[in-house]
């Protein structure tokens, strides 16, 4: 392997680099005053459009076919919404002294999110796993997450009364209703979007960049970098690695003990150990006060990069194995 190939292998994901660029931009040139209000309006519209396109992209037939493989779906559900939160809450509690209150809240929040869709399917495909099962598990996780995540956030993080109820209402209005509209219009526009995949990708990535810039602008104006130091960031890195390692080890062990086929185990591992940046950032923007969104999504942003690198290495390892 040449030096260039080695550097490419360990190079950060370009999308994560762009997100970090938004953090740096917000740190030096935060959006303030009336401009922040206009940015919020644009961001809300972009989030609605993003979930409208998600509704068009996900096939109802694939979702219903996946439900028939209930053992795989049930196990991924338990990893995503039961085991992951349990480990995340434990680590946030143990590391709270070094993380601080907001980063610890961010660790719990990321553990309550649904799985990714696109990268779960891609890694399952590379590893020669059950792609259809991964598609269904990830899609169902995202559908359930639009309801379960805000409910769990309200219950576990104490967003009670008006805050919790308003957050769930906002999720339904800004995420679920556009998604449902996309599902209803899917028969007429899915083929067009299939030929122009760049549209979905651009809205997807552009929306996240907007939300990250707006969230960190608000947090920087509120004194974010006076609250989060180097020691806290190092502690966050360690907590994220331990969280991912614990969940991935659990998915590998339990899927084997329960007798799943190699293909199904691969789908379970890649769907059950991932968390969605694309869903998490918009949800945080709705559920939490604007000034706290930046530090709360910081653990998710770091976790996203770590999970991509770990899953890429594991997928290559599975791809190089000889099937039993």
pLDDT, one tens digit per residue, over 99-145 is 988 899 999 999 999 988 767 877 887 788 887 788 778 878 887 88
User: In this predicted model, what pLDDT tens digit does every residue of 39-82 receive, in sequence order?
Assistant: 888 888 887 887 788 778 767 765 566 567 788 889 999 999 99
Of residues 271 and 285, more confidently modeled: 271
Q: With respect to CATH, is domain 34-316 assigned 1.20.1270.10?
A: no
Burial (CB < 10 A; 0-12, 13-18, 19+), residue 40, is: middle
User: In this predicted model, what pLDDT tens digit does every residue of 147-191 receive, in sequence order?
Assistant: 888 889 988 887 644 444 555 666 667 777 887 888 888 888 888
pLDDT of 122 reads 73
Of residues 174 and 26, more confidently modeled: 26
In this predicted structure, the answer to whether residue 214 has a pLDDT above a threshold of 70 is yes
Q: What is the mean pLDDT of residues 195-200?
A: 70
Q: What is the mean pLDDT of residues 3-29?
A: 70
Q: Please give the model's pTM, rounded to 2 decimal places.
A: 0.75
- How far apart (Å, rounded) are the C-alpha atoms in residues 70 and 249? 22
- Identify the weakest region by mean pLDDT among 13-27, 32-46, 262-276: 13-27
pLDDT of 166 reads 56
* Residues of the chain above pLDDT 70, percent: 82
231 pLDDT band, cuts 50/70/90, is: confident
């Amino acid at each position: 392997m040449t030096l260039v190939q080695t550097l490419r292998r360990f190079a950060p994901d370009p999308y994560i680099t762009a997100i970090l660029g938004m953090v740096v931009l917000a740190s030096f040139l935060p959006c303030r005053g009336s401009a922040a209000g206009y940015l919020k309006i644009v961001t809300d519209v972009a989030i609605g459009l993003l979930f409208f396109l998600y509704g068009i992209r996900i096939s109802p037939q694939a979702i219903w076919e996946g439900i028939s493989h209930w053992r795989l779906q049930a196990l991924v559900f338990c990893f995503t919404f039961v085991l992951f939160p349990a480990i995340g809450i434990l680590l946030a509690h143990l590391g709270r002294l070094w993380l601080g209150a907001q980063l610890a809240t961010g660790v719990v929040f990321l553990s309550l999110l649904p799985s990714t869709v696109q990268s779960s399917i891609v890694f399952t495909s590379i590893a020669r796993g059950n792609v259809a099962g991964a598609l269904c598990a990830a899609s169902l996780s995202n559908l359930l997450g639009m309801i379960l995540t805000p409910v769990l956030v309200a219950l576990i993080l104490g967003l009670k009364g008006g805050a919790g109820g308003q957050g769930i209402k906002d999720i339904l209005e800004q995420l679920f209703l556009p998604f449902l509209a996309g599902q209803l219009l899917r028969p007429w526009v899915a083929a067009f979007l299939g030929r122009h995949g760049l549209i979905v990708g651009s809205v997807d990535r552009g929306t996240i960049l907007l939300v990250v810039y707006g969230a960190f602008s608000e947090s920087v104006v509120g004194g974010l970098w006076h609250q989060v130091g180097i020691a806290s960031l190092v502690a966050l890195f360690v907590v994220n690695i331990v969280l991912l390692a614990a969940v991935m080890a659990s998915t590998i062990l339990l899927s084997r003990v329960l007798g799943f086929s190699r293909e199904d185990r691969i789908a379970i591992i890649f769907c059950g150990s991932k968390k969605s940046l694309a869903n998490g950032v918009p949800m945080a923007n709705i559920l939490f006060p604007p000034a706290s969104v930046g530090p709360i999504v910081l653990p998710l942003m770091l976790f996203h990069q770590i999970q991509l690198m770990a899953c890429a290495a594991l997928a290559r390892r599975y791809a190089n194995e000889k099937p039993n």
